[in-house]
Structure 1
Amino acid sequence: MTAASVGPPRYQERYAAKLEAAQHARRDIALALESWGLPHLVEVAEQIVTELVANAVEHTDAATVGISITRSGEEAVRIVVTDTSRTRPTLGEPSSDDENGRGLLLVDALAHDWGSELVHGGKRVWVELRGDGEK
């Protein structure tokens, strides 16, 4: 008798809410995508997870930040970043002189879709990526 698959491939991890969390999340997301045969999504996924984890570390008082990536289709994945803040992210409107405030604009430009939702104990920010060339 062999074990049956109980859902789509998924990877999840929690990191201490420190600056190096984004680096660790990038590495883990890239490894998951490579193992699923989706290396063409790595660069975009790394950029997105860097922005979302950095936002959670810099703009919340969370002790930990969670990430997960789930394969949601042959050429699609869903990335989720969680933290304990109840403040949902919003797109900024930085001026040309501002040095910050463009992270979610980048996420919005790169992702097929994204959003956030309040959950028990905080919030989750989710991003859908597709490798079929569709935004």
Structure 2
Amino acid sequence: MSMTATRRDTSTRQHIGELVRDRPSARTGFDVVISRTGRGGDGLSPQDRSWPGQMRRVGREHLRMWGLDALGDSIELLLSELVTNGFRHGRGGPVGVRLWRTEVCVCVEVVSGGGAQVPCVREAGVSEESGRGLWLVDAVADAWGVTADGSCTWCLLAVPRTV
């Protein structure tokens, strides 16, 4: 899977980006495929709307199991934004959510079949109720990107070094 980073690269971010491109075949984490019950876009069902919250809880529990509680708030925000975007802007098929880790990073991947255009950070107007999700992802994640076909949006958080 070809992935392109969209964050400013430092040597740490470059190293983490290399790990994503060459991610291990055996991963620790979860990988779920969620069938939509709504039509996509604004046609989200109550069940579709519940998935971001469910993924936040599952993500935080995995961090707890991994001893990475310090990343809990960040991973919740990242999962919430990317899963919500997957349901709102994906092509209407299932939404795949993966959370995995290596010794140096935790990765979130959301596969939603892509949308009409490749996701990008934009400036939402003061009165707009949406449009800030990827701006938040960009602010919180150590690196993030989108596959060339727009089908997968991913982000990384560096695992804090132990002293």
> For the residues of structure 1 that align with 2:103 and 2:156, how far apart are their CA atoms?
11
Secondary structure of the 1:13 match is strand
> For the residues of structure 2 that align with 1:89 and 1:31, how far apart are their CA atoms?
28
Whether the 8 Å contact between 1:62 and 1:85 is mirrored in structure 2 is no
Whether the 8 Å contact between 2:114 and 2:152 is mirrored in structure 1 is no
Secondary structure of the 2:102 match is strand
Larger mean CA deviation between 6-15 and 19-28 belongs to: 6-15
Which consecutive residues of structure 1, in runs of 5 or more, have no partner in the other structure?
1-5
TM-score after normalising by structure 1 = 0.82
Which structure is higher in strand share? 1
Greater RCO, CA 8 A, separation 6+:
2
Whether the 8 Å contact between 1:82 and 1:125 is mirrored in structure 2 is yes
Which structure is higher in helix share? 2
| Percent identical | 28
Counterpart of 1:109 (choices 108, 121, 139) is: 139
CA RMSD of aligned residues (A): 1.9
TM-score after normalising by structure 2 = 0.69
Counterpart of 2:107 (choices 59, 65, 78) is: 78
Deviation at 1:10, TM superposition (A): 2.6
Which consecutive residues of structure 2, in runs of 5 or more, have no partner in the other structure?
1-24, 37-47
Deviation above 3 Å: which 4+ runs of structure 1?
none
